[in-house]
Structure 1
Amino acid sequence: MSTTDRGRVVRERLLAAAVDLIAERGWTAVTTRVLAERAGVTPGLVHYHFASLSRLLAEAGVGVVRDALVGIRAAFDAADTPLRIIRVLLDAMDGLDEADVASPVFSETYLAAVRDPALRAQVTALLSDFVSTLTERFALAGVPDAAGTAAVVTATMDGLILHRSLTAPPDRATTERVLTRLIAPEATT
């Protein structure tokens, strides 16, 4: 294996360990030593591959958010009605189970972004891009005020993800019924 390949493998192990630790312990409880131990490398390699622990955590958290949003965006291709768009979003939520790290990593990344301007800029860019995509889908499906609706639905989905970490959110049928009534009331009659 080349030096470049070994370096890529170490970076991937560090990022994967960071994702797991963010979910398990919370952003602020991740230390260089614990991260290196989890990744099976020496602490010096953490700082060799990343400018700082906070930048490594940011890259890991943003990666989870980006991957989730890219997956949803790809599923929108088949969503041509408001109800199908809602179902794509809810399918993505259903993909999160009790053992999934995405929910707590989303929450931890958002919280860290409040205090870190560079991270905030990255997360804001991802969310803005997602809201734009959702706006386009809603506009094509004839949803009034597509931009406002996309912003509110995105915030609602974020809230549901946060609630998963705290308590059981409303069940899927209830969530689908309420969102459909708000976005496409004609679909409920």
Structure 2
Amino acid sequence: MTAGRGPAPSGRGQATRARLLDAAAQLVGEVGWGAVSTRLVAERAGVNAGLVHYHFSSVADLVREAVMRTAREAVFQLVDVLSRATDVRAGVDTLFGFLRPYTGTDPASLLMMEGFLAATREETLRAEFAALIEEVRQRLADWLAACGHPDPVASAGVFAALIDGLLLHRAVLPDLDLEAYQRTVTRMLSAGVPEEGGRDE
């Protein structure tokens, strides 16, 4: 993460910083990564433009932190809920229920897509996304192992990629049959799982 200039913000400064991050996250999905500017962020946040550079060393650093904050919040909310599922079927049901609001064209989905694209060009962002993906894979693998899955590590990687892929596909295929995908994923992840850990469809 990028540190802001000066001492750590407190009180009103923390609130202003949060507003700037929220504004940047909204704008990435609306206008694209490269079009976010100091002026746009300040206007959206309702603050003086000088505060953008008081709290962040550059607009690029602000946008990177905003994207990673949003990405972490979304994926760990999913993983935390998923980890409470006691079997594979319940977990897949949880996953698809969580994904339904993410249409591929909503602000959060667009932000994630912009972030992944920017990560192919920015080394710091790429490293942060890579670390996040690895952590998500590990937590998914832990959950699958607890469900009795015979190959939790590789399956967790496929499961994580599936989540990203569905978001990308829904952006161009809005009528994607999520129910059909859900049944297929349940069968795939339930294969070889003992009855007490997961149930075959």
TM-score of the alignment, normalized to the shorter chain, above 0.5: yes
Partner of 2:15: 9
Of 68, 81, 86, which residue of structure 2 is paired with 1:80?
86
* Distance (Å, rounded) in 2 between the aligned partners of 1:169 and 1:84: 24
Q: Is the 8 A contact 1:163 1:169 kept in 2?
A: no
Provide Cα deviations, 1:78-131, integer angstroms capped at 9, x if missing partner. 312111221222122024358742111111111111111111111111111110
Matches of 2:16 and 2:171 in 1, distance apart?
Answer: 30
How far apart are the structure 1 equivalents of 2:186 and 2:47? 49
Distance 1:150 1:34 in 2: 39
| Cross-structure match for 1:32 | 38
**Residues 99 and 182 (structure 1), Cα distance of their counterparts in 2 relative to 1, 3 Å cut:** closer
Specify the code of the residue in structure 1 equivalent to 2:150.
P
- 1:85, 1:137 within 8 Å by CA — same for their partners in 2? no
Matching residue of 2:156: 150
Aligned to 1:109: 115
Contact 1:131 1:151 in 2 (8 A): yes
Following superposition of structure 1 onto structure 2, how do residues 30-179 of structure 1 map, counting pairs within 5 Å?
30-96=36-102, 100-168=106-174, 170-179=176-185
Flag the structure with higher helix content.
1
CA deviation after TM superposition for structure 1 residue 170, in Å: 2.6
Unaligned runs of 5+ in 1: none
Query: Aligned-pair RMSD on alpha carbons?
Result: 1.9
TM-score by length of 1: 0.90
1:19 to 14, 20, 25: 25
- Counterpart Cα distance in 2 of 1:138 and 1:169: 29
Distance 2:155 2:187 in 1: 13
Is the Cα–Cα contact under 8 Å of residues 87 and 176 in structure 1 kept in the other structure? Answer: yes
Question: What stretches of structure 1 move > 3 A for 4+ residues in a row?
Answer: 97-100, 185-189
Aligned identity (percent) is 36
Structure 2: any 5+ residue segments left out of the alignment?
A: 1-8, 193-198
Is the partner of 2:150 in helix, strand or coil?
Answer: coil
Count of matched residue positions in the alignment of Structure 1 and Structure 2: 187
- 1:128 and 1:169 map into 2 onto residues whose CA distance is 31
TM-score scaled to structure 2, two decimals? 0.85
